[in-house]
Amino acid sequence: MKKSLFAVAAITAFAGAAQAQSSVTVYGIMDGSYTATQNNTQATAAAAVTKVTGRNTVNGDGALSTSRIGFRGVEDLGGGQKAEFMLEYDLVNIGNGANGNDISVADVATNTNVASTGTQSGFGARQSWIGISDAKLGTLRLGRQEQAVFTVLSSGLAGGGNNIAGSVYSAGNTGSSPNAASVRPVTVYLNQAITYITPKFAGFSATAQHSSNAYSASGTTQSAGARESGASLNYDGIKNLTLRYGIALQDVNITAVTAAAASGTSDTVVGVAAASNKVTQQAAVATYDFGFATGFANLTKMATRAAGVSTRDQTAYELGLRASLNPTIGVWASAFVGDKKMAADSATLSATTNGRADISGFQLGTTYAFSKRTTAYAIYGSQEVKGKSLASGTKIDSTGYAVGLRHSF
């Protein structure tokens, strides 16, 4: 009888230990804010000014952080090995309950996975990967992941990659979006990616990444022949100092996808290959913990080539400082300057094409922590793309602010 009881106890203990070796975590962010944006486009003639102002009582995509929900899992395989996965979705807009991306006519024409307009494609895609790690050999991940160069840049932003104008990372368009003068030098996610992360050795670690037959940056248009290879190098072997460098090499030899491509298989891709477009994205970041504050510095470069001809070269420098005034109040400030050179020195100007221009911006922000999970915030930022040479006198301004509340769970 005693032996049976001991056996049952042993089996129960073993089962409990085995169960404890595997875990799944549900996490997310709910971020809502009052936002106001003002985008001014000025043509060469001083009188030709277009002003677009957007106000949103509950910008639920998130001003400080994008609203999201995710699932993260880890299984201890023993011997220093672990299996892991991440499945994360953009909640898109908690202000109106939206749970997906609106489908446009253009989406239907270029994506065989879309059935009709007036529908939603589901939660917005963020990360979806599975991987295995070894304490001595490193980590291998398969699926949609952060672009290695983006991971580098995001670590060097005083404002943490928020969604308001004023940082080189800012993106968006007119209307209620926070920024029309977008000069973002990197994409964020890479589809169909294979990523390898080395273990840390003497303060160094590295990442290598590759994707073939990738989707376009928007994630809606399949790009047969598109490839991207990327890498990053990190060093934190000196107290309080961290150095990072990342690069992405994109070769977008796109095969167009049309509605006629559908033949019962949603992944069918047909079309005629366009001329090869090559994009190089680079980011170098340094952060230093002064004790009373953390300093941030980043250098970004982006170069695009179409059929071997340079079409855009952009360089930007950004400096920032983030500090905690007390356990509940935090503040940050950042500013960037740079320039972009286009293949055609046009007299017209847009944020991403036509006309050579100087770029600049600044951002101020503060947070108030009610708890470890709930934070109130206020952000103000402004940036501009100012034409030079033939485009002298033209300018695009983007100014925005947000006051909001973020809860992490």
Q: If pLDDT is split at 50, 70 and 90, which confidence band does 15 have?
A: very low
Q: What is the pLDDT of residue 344?
A: 82
The model's pLDDT over 17-33, given as tens digits with 9 standing for 90+, comes to 444 478 999 999 999 99
Q: Residue type at 97?
A: G
Residues 6+ apart with CB under 8 A from 76: 21, 22, 82
Whether residue 319 lies inside any domain: the answer is yes
- pLDDT at residue 226 tops 80: no
Mean pLDDT of the chain: 80
Q: pLDDT band for position 40 (50/70/90)?
A: low
Please report the pLDDT score of residue 49 as a whole number: 62
CA distances from 199 to 140, 233, 292, 359 (A): 11, 12, 31, 38
- Residue 335's CB is within 10 A of a number of other CB atoms, namely 19
Q: Taking a C-beta distance cutoff of 8 angstroms, is the pair 302, 172 a contact?
A: no
Cβ count near 11 (within 10 Å): 10
**Per-residue pLDDT at 64 exceeds 60:** yes
Three-point CA angle 250, 252, 256, nearest 5°:
155
Residue 11 domain-assigned?
no
What confidence tens digit (pLDDT) does each residue in 349-400 have? 876 678 899 999 999 999 999 999 999 999 999 998 888 888 888 888 888 8
pLDDT at 181: 80
Question: What's the one-letter identity of residue 397?
Answer: D
Cα–Cα dist 204/207, whole Å: 11
**What would the two tokens of residue 341 be?**
């050179």
Q: What percent of the chain has pLDDT over 90?
A: 49
Residue 43 lies in a domain: yes
Quote the strand ranges of 79-188, DSSP E: 81-90, 124-134, 138-146
pLDDT of the residue at 50:
64
With bands split at pLDDT 50, 70 and 90, how would you rate the model's confidence at 5? very low
Amino acid at 293: A
In this model, does residue 208 exceed pLDDT 90?
yes
Nearest alpha carbon to residue 191 among 161, 227, 154, 233: 227
Q: Which residue did the predictor score with more confidence, 11 or 403?
A: 403
Question: Looking at the domain assignment, is residue 323 inside a domain?
Answer: yes
Q: Residue 236 belongs to what domain range?
A: 22-408
| pLDDT band of 10, cuts 50, 70, 90 | very low
CA distances from 49 to 79, 183, 347, 348 (A): 66, 21, 16, 13
pLDDT band at 98 (very low <50, low <70, confident <90, very high): low
Asked whether residue 2 is domain-assigned, the answer is: no
Joined tokens for residue 69: 């929900």
CB 310 within 8 A of CB 302: no
Give the integer Cα–Cα distance in Å for 210 and 215: 13
Q: What is the CATH number of the domain that holds 350?
A: 2.40.160.10
- As given in the structure block, the two tokens for residue 205 are 């670690």
Question: What is the band of 3 on the pLDDT scale with cuts at 50, 70, 90?
Answer: very low
Backbone angles phi, psi at 109, to 5 degrees: -70, -20
Q: Is residue 403 in some structural domain?
A: yes
Split into its structural domains, the chain has a count of 1
DSSP 274: P
pLDDT digit string, tens, across residues 305-361: 887 788 889 999 999 999 999 999 999 999 999 999 988 888 878 766 788 999 999
Instruction: Tell me, yes or no, whether 133 lies in a domain.
Output: yes
How many helices and strands, by DSSP H and E, does the chain display? 3, 17
* Mean pLDDT confidence for 203-212: 94
pLDDT confidence of residue 393: 80
Give per-residue pLDDT as tens, 244-291.
Answer: 999 998 887 654 444 333 333 333 333 334 456 788 999 999 999 999
* pLDDT at site 261: 39
Residue 17 lies in a domain: no
Determine phi and psi for 13, rounding to 5 degrees: -65, -40
pLDDT above 80 (res 107): no
In terms of pLDDT, which residue wins out, 305 or 407? 407
Q: Say what the pLDDT of residue 347 is.
A: 82
